[in-house]
Amino acid sequence: MTRSRRPTALAAALALASLLGCEPVPEGGPAAPVRAVTECEVTRIADGDSIDCAPLGRIRLVGIDTPELSQDPIGRVAADVLRSHIPIGSRVGVELDVEERDRNGRLLGYVWAEGQLVNWLMVRSGHAVTLTYPPNVQYVDALEAAQGAARSERSGLWAADGFDCLPIERRRGSC
């Protein structure tokens, strides 16, 4: 009898959710912002790659992509991991790249908290994948290296087959 991998993947994702806050923060990544940073206060975690931050509004973490909240439980896991890095009420710095806004009007930002690039942390911990839209490529090399390491180590959602269908492919209805 062939056993489906899906229940195992869901169980692993749920187990990951219960471990939030217990995982060590990966080392490495960009050391400091390259461009000017604007401070704001996190008021809401919309999903794994979008936040609301006063007074700037909705910010899409540029260079990364996470499962949608509708992909329960892995979408919720990604959002919870982001929340563990930047809890509501925390002050963060937002660094812009070449294009300031996406087609939905969201600010495209690299989010810095406690001296670490949160976008990179999400990829390195295995809870986000890279998504590059030139000309916003400030940290593309660091993000791609982080993804390679997370994937080879089967970190985060990679361990739960959470990226068998990449978020962008799911939005397109490809899988």
Q: What confidence tens digit (pLDDT) does each residue in 14-48 have? A: 454 444 444 556 678 999 999 999 999 999 999 99
Mean pLDDT along residues 165-169: 90
pLDDT surpasses 90 at 96: yes
SS3 label, residue 39: strand
End-to-end CA distance of the chain: give it in Å, rounded: 25
Q: What is the pLDDT of residue 23?
A: 54
SS3 label, residue 76: helix
CA distances from 13 to 82, 119, 123 (A): 15, 20, 16
Q: Nearest 5°: CA angle at 103, between 165 and 66?
A: 25
52, burial (CB in 10 Å: exposed 0-12, middle 13-18, buried 19+): middle
SS3 label, residue 109: strand
pLDDT in tens, 102-128: 999 999 999 999 999 999 999 999 999
Mean pLDDT along residues 69-79: 92
Of 44, 55, 103, 105, the closest CA to residue 79 belongs to: 44
Q: What is the pLDDT of residue 24?
A: 59
